[in-house]
Amino acid sequence: MKKILTLSVVLVLIIAGGLFYYQYQKNNPVSSQDKTLDQLANQTIQTKQISTNLNSENLIQVQFSIEMDSKKTLKQSEKIKPIIESDIIKILSKSNKDDFKDIAAFEGKIKDKLNERFSDGKIMNVYTTELLIQ
């Protein structure tokens, strides 16, 4: 009798866990890693091509795509796009040619600086779409 009771309790717990998992997946179908290309495109802004002098004797031409965490943050970023581009120019003008050897670290630096501009949302990723250093 004890075995049947124990088996029943285990079975009920497994069923309850399965139902909980089903409800959770039903309410949260898309995780941040499962974004579709359309969602990604709808939450990304493109900067203009930026040309400026580096802190060395080099000239840089660069363009970025900036992924936001939501459409609300995207709308906010579109309003301050000139300020975002200005912040990028300031970062570039303090950089030298060697800072671009690790482009992922440089993109992270830009992301961290630009995230200071947003109180509600945040920047998820910065992608370098064009880079020319002379």
pLDDT in tens, 76-102: 999 999 999 999 999 999 999 999 899
Q: Give the closest residue to 114 by CA, choosing from 67, 70, 72, 75.
A: 67
Backbone angles phi, psi at 120, to 5 degrees: -95, -60
Indicate yes or no: pTM above 0.85.
no
Q: Express each pLDDT in 50-78 by its tens digit.
A: 999 999 889 999 999 999 998 899 999 99
The answer to whether 94 and 132 have CB atoms below 8 angstroms apart is no
pLDDT band at 7 (very low <50, low <70, confident <90, very high): confident
% of the chain surpassing 90 pLDDT: 53
Q: Are 29 and 13 in contact (CB under 8 A)?
A: no
Cα–Cα distances (Å) from 121 to 43, 68, 70, in that order, read: 12, 8, 7
Contact 124, 68 (CB under 8 A): yes
Mean confidence (pLDDT) of the chain: 86
Check residue 36 and give its pLDDT.
Answer: 75
Q: What is the pLDDT of residues 108-122, one digit of tens each?
A: 999 999 999 888 889
Instruction: Say how far apart CA 84 and CA 75 lie, in whole Å.
Output: 13
Q: How confident is the model at residue 123 (pLDDT cuts 50, 70, 90)?
A: very high
